[in-house]
Amino acid sequence: MKTTGLILATILLAPLVLIRLEGQQSAGQQIPDDAGQPIKVDVDVVNLYCAVRNKQNALISSLEKGDFSLAEDGTRQTIKYFTRETDLPLTIGLLVDVSGSQQNLIEIERRAASGFFSSVLKKKDVAFLISFGADSELLQDVTGSPRSLQDGLSHLKLNTGFSGINSGPVPTMTKQRGTVLYDAVYLAANDMLSKEAGRKAIVLITDGEDEGSTETEKAAIEAAQKADAIIYGILYVDRQAYGGFNVGYSGESVLKQMSEETGGRIFHVDRKNSLDSIFDQIQQEMRTQYAIGYTPTNGNKDGSFRKIELRTANKDLKVQVRKGYYALPPQQ
């Protein structure tokens, strides 16, 4: 299935927010900030999902709301909603690089991704699959069925050139494309994840090289931020495709920036870390997140980018969270 149109990005500051909080509350009673059931919040709330690690890089899952401090554009904010709930519904977009430089890795990627989908998807979770090379292709639309995702993975294949005038979401007529990485991320964020609710993640398997995308790296990151999606970058490089070393290769810094700007992180497939083990780490991290909500003191929806700083009182802990959000006006 080829993807053609682009849809409007969803609104980060939604007037209706569903969030799971701690405790129990009966109908008709006033609902406190830390209630324990999904509630409707008729105000504009910014939702953050973060992971916290210590100096040994171990995940910390026992913090309380009071352990965090939050600022937006340098102005302190009040954390209104907080939970350590690990089973919040999750939407995952798996993006697999099938360009010429990844030819020898595709079968390994297929096998590892199959195991990932089988183990990570739980009740109410959904996922979709996109491959990208000379163009982007949606191999499986959003589904909660591991079997459907396995079928999509069976269609992963080398993609090094055009198969027709409409071979990608935004065909390029003037030059040959090689690896439309930025286009694929933009497609996943803007067309797929922007219309989804809850926690959203893009798992990106690539060597980080882009050649011929219509979209820029900045536009791809912005689309992910507007869709409230975290990017987990998996750097998988076939060194033989680059002369055995790093000749002509510079993709690591790109993947690192895309991940860190959206609150994710980069993983390296090497002798110590297999693709299977990295998928396990991503799964653990996605299930060990804190959900934080706050109402910004700056209520203007002017489309500007607002910088977020989330810290803990313990300076030895590192908070992994997106670096900001866009205060989009309604219906943008």
Based on DSSP, count helices (H) and strands (E) in the chain, helices before strands.
Answer: 6, 16
**pLDDT at position 211 over 70:** yes
Confidence of residue 243 (pLDDT cuts 50, 70, 90): low
What span, in angstroms and rounded, lies between the C-alpha atoms of 279 and 273? 10
**pLDDT at position 42 over 50:** no
Report the SS3 class of residue 70: strand
- Give 133-144 pLDDT, tens digit per residue: 999 999 999 999
What is each CA distance from 116 to 133, 152, 188, in whole angstroms? 22, 14, 19
Looking at residues 262-267, what average pLDDT do you find? 96
Lowest-confidence segment of 24-33, 194-203, 224-233, 305-314 by average pLDDT: 24-33
**pLDDT at position 241 over 60:** yes
Query: Which residue has better confidence, 17 or 104?
Result: 104
Task: Give the pLDDT score at 172.
Answer: 38
Task: Give the pLDDT score at 183.
Answer: 97
Looking at residues 297-325, what average pLDDT do you find? 95
- Give 176-195 pLDDT, tens digit per residue: 458 999 999 999 999 999 99
Class of the CATH-defined domain 90-286: alpha beta
Task: Give the pLDDT score at 198.
Answer: 87
Burial profile 35-47: b = 16 or more Cβ within 10 angstroms, e = fewer:
beeebebeebbbb
Query: Which residue has better confidence, 134 or 119?
Result: 134
Query: Which residues of the chain does CATH 3.40.50.410 include?
Result: 90-286
Confidence of residue 113 (pLDDT cuts 50, 70, 90): very high
Find where tokens 């639309």 sit: 141
What is each CA distance from 125 to 90, 144, 172, 323, in whole angstroms? 5, 6, 35, 25
